[in-house]
Copies of this chain bind each other. A is one copy, B any other.
Amino acid sequence: MSREKLTKIILPEERMPRFWYNVQADMPTPLSPALHPETKQPLGPEDLAPLFPMGLIAQEVSTERFLEIPPEVRELYKLWRPSPLYRAHGLEKALDTQCRIYYKYEGVSPVGSHKLNSALPQVYYNKMEGITRLTTETGAGQWGTALALACKLFGLECMVYMVRVSFDQKPYRRMIMNVYGANCVSSPSTLTESGRQALAKDPDTPGTLAIAISEAVEDAMQRADTHYSLGSVLNHVCVHQSIIGQEVKLQMEMVDDYPDIVIGCCGGGSNFAGIAFPFIPDKLAGKKVRLVGVEPSACPTMTRGVFAYDFGDVAGFTPMLKMCTLGHDFTPAGIHAGGLRYHGESPLVSQLYQDGLIEATSVMQKGVFEAAMLFSRAEGIVPAPESSHAIRVAIDEALKAKEEGIIKSIVLNLSGHGQMDLTAYDNYLSGQMEDYAPTDEEIQASLKTLPTL
């Protein structure tokens, strides 16, 4: 097939990968162990068992390169996978660039984002262990929506703690979770001790993912029928999302192309990991592909944080992970990309960043929406605010290449559509949107809450 002509590069259903890729097999520096929040000793699998099923714990610590996708999960992946890789002809024309820009479109999933890639196996492994109820947190609502649907498809109950600023900004998200049969409450809530404490500390808090995680973990710890589920950050989530990048590689082969740059937005890191990690072996073998994670300036975990042990949640219930962090007490401004408002970063992404195998950059909210508007009007798809961070950098890279008189092949992860985020666009179009970035003092103050070892 000609690389010039096709708009959608479609991988046949039967070529959908049968294995997830696990980057732990190929890391030059192995991960530092997760530590118990109280004893501060390395965790054993049994320490995670109250929250996670053994199937996921095994993936969390595995160093096997390929992990089999269970047939039950693979059947459900077919509801939307393989997802299309688009050549962005319209955007290229709008930018007047010779660069080839591709976007992997995960918004075709029934919930409109990549999150279902991990929600399905997470629910599957819990069901195999007899668990009947899952709790989770959600920022923008993409993860909560995905877990709600996955629970419904496998017949489990689902309880979602949704960060308050998003709960208020995005009412449709609560509604779609209800359609899928989940219970969704604004976090901090009065249902948990962690929620009540957060409200006592600041009744007007916009909430954070770190608070919502504390609530979901606390809830799960109190019931034997209940486990906890996390939509990003952890190794097994990055493993599940690797199907994205594996498909991209096959699709790029179909048009006889290979990327110079692969770009994904970074909150907890799983969507970036998903598209980027399958390129790590190529990079280690000498290929010159750049892997770029894009953070919001309001929550610059890699670009302005430290690499240190920290808790995943505000209350210190979770294990301590060695990762890029702004401190678990950090409260990012209430930007519209609620899915990126997380103080930490996947330990896998963080370690690979330390080792120079991936790059990180940060962008301001208004520039992100400027890029999202250009993309919407050129390609038709209205992108999610989170995914638009990747679009911003893809555009900047294409414009830079034009200035330098070179031609690049650029691939970005369009991890979701923004049809349920239209209030954010309305805010931008009415000229009311503001840019945010924490001061150095704010970051230093938050870093003081890092646990001592």
| Cβ contact within 8 Å between B178 and A426 | yes
| Cβ contact within 8 Å between A10 and B7 | no
Q: How far is the CB of A407 from chain B (nearest CB, A)?
A: 22
With CB as the reference atom, state the residue of chain B lying closest to A150: B380
Restricting to A89-114, which residues have a CB under 8 Å from any CB of B? 89-90, 108-112
Which listed residue, B7, B382, B419, touches A13 by the CB 8 Å rule?
B7
Which listed residue, B12, B13, B79, B429, touches A379 by the CB 8 Å rule?
B79
| Cβ contact within 8 Å between A419 and B422 | no
Q: How far is the CB of A375 from chain B (nearest CB, A)?
A: 10
Q: Does A381 sit within 8 A of B, measured CB to CB?
A: yes
Indicate whether A110 sits within 8 Å of B422 (C-beta atoms), given known contacts A13-B10, A78-B7.
no
Q: Does A152 sit within 8 A of B, measured CB to CB?
A: yes
Q: Does A326 sit within 8 A of B, measured CB to CB?
A: no
Question: In the docked arrangement, what's the CA distance between A80 and B110, Å?
Answer: 15
| Cβ contact within 8 Å between B78 and A175 | no
Question: In the docked arrangement, what's the CA distance between A209 and B430, Å?
Answer: 28
Q: Does A51 sit within 8 A of B, measured CB to CB?
A: no
> Across the interface, which residues of B come within 8 angstroms of A290, CB to CB?
none
Q: Does A321 sit within 8 A of B, measured CB to CB?
A: no
Question: In the docked arrangement, what's the CA distance between A153 and B375, Å?
Answer: 11
Question: In the docked arrangement, what's the CA distance between A220 and B236, Å?
Answer: 58
Q: How far is the CB of A378 from chain B (nearest CB, A)?
A: 8
Which listed residue, B116, B172, B379, touches A172 by the CB 8 Å rule?
B172
Q: Does A373 sit within 8 A of B, measured CB to CB?
A: yes
Q: Does A8 sit within 8 A of B, measured CB to CB?
A: yes
Which listed residue, B108, B380, B420, touches A79 by the CB 8 Å rule?
B380
Question: In the docked arrangement, what's the CA distance between A176 and B425, Å?
Answer: 8
Indicate whether A152 sits within 8 Å of B377 (C-beta atoms), given known contacts A178-B426, A179-B429, A426-B178.
yes
Q: How far is the CB of A243 from chain B (nearest CB, A)?
A: 16
| Cβ contact within 8 Å between B180 and A377 | yes
Q: How far is the CB of A452 from chain B (nearest CB, A)?
A: 46
Question: In the docked arrangement, what's the CA distance between A109 and B6, Å?
Answer: 17
| Cβ contact within 8 Å between B376 and A180 | yes
Q: How far is the CB of A94 from chain B (nearest CB, A)?
A: 11
> Across the interface, which residues of B come within 8 angstroms of A80, CB to CB?
8
Question: In the docked arrangement, what's the CA distance between A420 and B176, Å?
Answer: 10
Q: Does A423 sit within 8 A of B, measured CB to CB?
A: yes
With CB as the reference atom, state the residue of chain B lying closest to A425: B179
> Across the interface, which residues of B come within 8 angstroms of A149, CB to CB?
380
Restricting to A221-242, which residues have a CB under 8 Å from any CB of B? none
Restricting to A392-444, which residues have a CB under 8 Å from any CB of B? 419-420, 422-423, 425-426, 429
Q: Does A181 sit within 8 A of B, measured CB to CB?
A: yes
| Cβ contact within 8 Å between B79 and A176 | no
| Cβ contact within 8 Å between B175 and A426 | yes
Q: How far is the CB of A147 from chain B (nearest CB, A)?
A: 13
| Cβ contact within 8 Å between A179 and B382 | yes
**A136-149: contact bitstring with B at CB < 8 Å (1 yes, 0 no)?**
00000000000001
| Cβ contact within 8 Å between B381 and A179 | no
Question: In the docked arrangement, what's the CA distance between A408 and B419, Å?
Answer: 36
Q: How far is the CB of A182 from chain B (nearest CB, A)?
A: 11
Question: In the docked arrangement, what's the CA distance between A181 and B373, Å?
Answer: 10
| Cβ contact within 8 Å between A423 and B175 | yes
Restricting to A330-383, which residues have a CB under 8 Å from any CB of B? 373, 376-377, 379-382
Which listed residue, B8, B12, B175, B422, touches A176 by the CB 8 Å rule?
B422
5 closest A-B pairs by CB: A110-B380, A7-B78, A175-B422, A172-B422, A110-B381
- List, sorted by A's number, 30 A–B pairs whose CB atoms are closer than 8 Å: A6-B78, A7-B13, A7-B78, A8-B79, A8-B80, A10-B10, A10-B12, A75-B89, A79-B379, A110-B382, A112-B419, A152-B377, A153-B377, A172-B172, A172-B422, A172-B423, A175-B423, A175-B425, A175-B426, A175-B429, A176-B382, A176-B419, A176-B425, A178-B425, A179-B377, A179-B382, A179-B422, A179-B429, A419-B419, A420-B420
